[in-house]
C-alpha cells in the first residue's frame, strides 16, 4: 500500500542549460544562501507562490555542483542543509 504522506523532494536539482551555464534549482533557504555566495553563481529567479524556490545560473559543471551540494547536506539525514 502506498503512503498518503508527502513525498520528500530533493532540496536541489542541477542541469546544464547551455555550453557555459548550469542551472540550479534550490528549495532550502540555508542551502540557497550558502550557494549564492560562491564565485560564478548568480541568482536567476525565484518562486513567489508555493514553497521556497531559488533558481541560480552557475559557471561550474553539474558534477561540481552535485559534489558541493552533497557535501553541504551530508550527515543531516533529512536532506536539509547544515549551517
> How far is it, in rounded angstroms, from Cα 77 to Cα 5?
18
> How far is it, in rounded angstroms, from Cα 40 to Cα 51?
26
Taking the domains of the chain in order of start, what are their residue ranges?
A: 12-73
CB distance 31 to 54 below 8 Å:
no
Q: What is the mean pLDDT of residues 43-69?
A: 93
Residues whose CB falls within 8 Å of the CB of residue 83, separated by 6 or more in sequence, listed in order:
30
What digits encode the pLDDT tens for the residues 1-35?
A: 455 666 677 889 999 998 889 999 999 999 999 99
Distance of alpha carbon 73 from the chain centroid: 10
Instruction: Tell me the residue length of the chain.
Output: 83
> How far is it, in rounded angstroms, from Cα 14 to Cα 70?
12
The pLDDT of residue 5 is: 62
Instruction: Please say if the pLDDT value at position 66 is more than 70.
Output: yes
Q: Residue 80 — very low, low, confident or very high, per pLDDT cuts 50/70/90?
A: low
Q: What is the mean pLDDT of residues 45-64?
A: 93
CB atoms within 10 A of CB 19: 5
Amino acid at each position: 500500500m502506498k503512503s498518503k504522506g508527502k513525498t520528500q523532494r530533493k532540496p536541489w536539482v542541477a542541469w546544464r542549460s547551455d555550453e557555459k551555464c548550469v542551472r540550479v534549482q534550490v528549495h532550502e533557504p540555508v542551502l540557497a544562501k550558502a550557494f549564492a555566495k560562491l564565485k560564478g553563481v548568480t541568482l536567476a529567479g525565484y518562486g513567489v507562490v508555493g514553497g521556497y524556490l531559488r533558481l541560480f545560473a552557475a559557471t561550474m559543471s553539474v558534477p561540481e555542483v552535485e559534489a558541493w551540494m552533497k557535501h553541504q547536506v551530508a550527515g543531516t539525514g533529512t536532506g536539509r542543509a547544515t549551517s
